[in-house]
Amino acid sequence: MQHDPRGMAITTGSATAAQEFDAAVLALLGQKQEAGVRLGAALAADPLLVAGHALAGFAQMLAARRPLVTEAARSLARARDAITARGATPRERALTQALACWAEGGDMDRAAAGLEAMVQEDPHDILALRLSHGIRFMLGQAAEMRHAIEAALPRWDPAMPGYAYLLGCHAFALEETGDIARAEVVGRRAVAMEPGDLWGAHAVAHAIGAQGRMREGIAWLRWLEPNLVGGSNFVRHVHWHRALFHLALGQTEDALALYDRQVWAEPSEDVRDLMNAAHLLWRLEASGIPVGARRWDDLAAIAERRIGEHAWAFADLHYVVALAGARRTEAASRLIASITARAETEADTQARLHAGVGLSAARAVAAAMDGAPATALGDFDAALPDLASLGGSHAQRSVFVAMRDHAAWQAARPAQRQG
Q: Is the pLDDT of residue 381 over 70?
A: yes
- Give mean pLDDT, residues 11-22: 97
Rounded mean pLDDT of the chain? Answer: 96
**Taking 70 as the threshold, does the pLDDT of residue 68 lie above it?**
yes
What pLDDT band is residue 412 in, cutting at 50, 70 and 90?
Answer: confident
Whether 417 has a pLDDT exceeding 80, the answer reads no
pLDDT > 70? residue 416:
no
**What is the reported pTM?**
0.95
1-140: which CATH number, 1.20.140.10, 2.60.40.1180, 1.25.40.10, 3.90.79.10?
Answer: 1.25.40.10
Predicted pLDDT of residue 413: 77
The residue type found at 227 is N
In 3D, which of 180, 231, 196, 230 has the Cα closest to residue 394?
A: 180
Confidence class for position 414, pLDDT limits 50, 70, 90: low
The CATH T-level fold of domain 162-257 is: 1.25.40
What is the pLDDT averaged over residues 186-190?
98
Q: Which amino acid is at 403?
A: M
The pLDDT of residue 166 is above 80: yes
pLDDT band at 415 (very low <50, low <70, confident <90, very high): low
**419 pLDDT tier (thresholds 50, 70, 90):** very low
Interacting residues of 188 by C-beta distance below 8 A, sequence separation 6+? 204
Residue 418 has pLDDT above 50, yes or no: no
pLDDT, one tens digit per residue, over 200-233 is 999 999 999 999 999 999 999 999 999 999 999 9
Q: Per-residue pLDDT tens for 95-125?
A: 999 999 999 999 999 999 999 999 999 999 9
Which is it for the CA torsion 113, 115, 121, 125, positive or negative? negative
- Asked if 1-140 and 162-257 have one fold, the answer is yes
Domain ranges of the chain: 1-140, 162-257, 283-411
pLDDT of res. 251: 97
Could you give the percent of the chain with pLDDT greater than 90? 97
